[in-house]
Structure 1
Amino acid sequence: MKTIKEKLTYIIYWIIIFISSSSMIIYGILKPFQFESFPINNNSGLSEGHKLMWSFYSYSATYPIVIGICELIGGLFLLFNRTRIFGCILLTILLSNIILQDYLYEIKALNTAIYYQLLIIIILIFDKEKVKKVFRELFRINRKNKNIPLLIVALIIAILFKLFENKFL
């Protein structure tokens, strides 16, 4: 039998997941349309950085579509236990980029991006055991690696390619 605290924690966890997921899914679906018609001259109340960034995003439909697809996938992945950590990582990459751009280009939506990033961090805190497991697996050191000589050969070849790549490309 779960305690009241456990039940409340479970409810809060899923509220945060549903808020984050639904918002990312909606943002992902709407992202291709967000920058469609951005008249620079009619937006005198916006900062120069805001105008510059919106002009950049509206120049090509492809970039906002790619970002939208990643937001959509990240939002969907939050809903499933097996993909939640990957969804959090994907959304953290996207939101970090958005936060950085919003800050540097003086976009008023900065607080919104920070809010969603904080929700993602809270989800990761709730799932800290899974996060630890993922990081242990990612950074596991194999002490019995017998391929060290092959790695050294590969490194030397890669360095040689890098030295000559500008001559060939």
Structure 2
Amino acid sequence: MIWSKAPSKTILVIRLLMAAIFALYGCVKLFGGQFYYGDWDNLSKSTVDGTSLVWLFYGYSPFYGRITGLFELIPAVMLLFRRTTFLGAAALFVVGLNITLMDFAFDYPSVKYLAALYTVLCGVLVLQDRGKLRDILADSAKS
């Protein structure tokens, strides 16, 4: 298949790019950015657009906002090490898929296409190491 023949330099660039992007987003969330953690008293459906409402909802719990940051940051760091690349890529594929679905469901502007691209690139990393997935899922009784 094409993914197993991808040049190692291409895979390295994808790994580093995804690590940088998800680490950045994870840090922004960890340090209290991206979501709205402010005053909820003067907010209503008539004064807040749908995309802002999503950030308000996620920001309702600072704990949740920071945990989602960890779910991006930790796997991003795992991409920096060859031994943990598969696990980091698999985790970021799931995280990216969730972000992509949310972005399309709430009709975020062009960022939804970037989220889809990041998800696909994480999928490429997972497919590159699909032998590890086969090993994990293999029936050890047949061996």
TM-score of the superposition, structure 2-length normalised? 0.78
SS at match of 2:83: coil
- Paired amino acid for 1:69: L
Please give the secondary structure, in 2, of the residue aligned with 1:34.
coil
Per chain length, whose mean CA-contact separation is higher, i.e. which structure has more relative contact order (CA < 8 Å, sep 6+)? Answer: 2
What CA distance in whole angstroms lies between the structure 2 residues aligned with 1:34 and 1:51?
Answer: 10
Q: Give distance in 2, aligned partners of 1:81 and 1:13.
A: 11
**Distance in 1 between the 2:25 and 2:129 partners?**
24
Contact 2:27 2:69 in 1 (8 A): yes
Q: Choose 82-91 or 13-22, whichever is displaced more.
A: 82-91
How high is the sequence identity, in percent, across the aligned residues?
26
The answer for the alignment partner of 1:148 in structure 2 is: none
Q: Write the deviation string for residues 72-94 of structure 1: whole angstroms up to 9, x where unpaired.
A: 00101112222212112211221
2:37–2:59 CA contact under 8 A, matched in 1: yes
1:124 to 123, 126, 134: 126
After TM superposition, where is structure 1 displaced by more than 3 Å over at least 4 residues in a row?
36-41
- Cα deviation, residue 38, structure 1: 7.1
Structure 1 position 35, deviation (Å): 1.4
Code of the aligned partner of 1:111: Y
Aligned CA RMSD, in angstroms, stands at 2.5
Unaligned runs of 5+ in 2: none
Q: How many residues align?
A: 130
User: Could you state the TM-score of these two structures normalised by the residue count of structure 1?
Assistant: 0.67
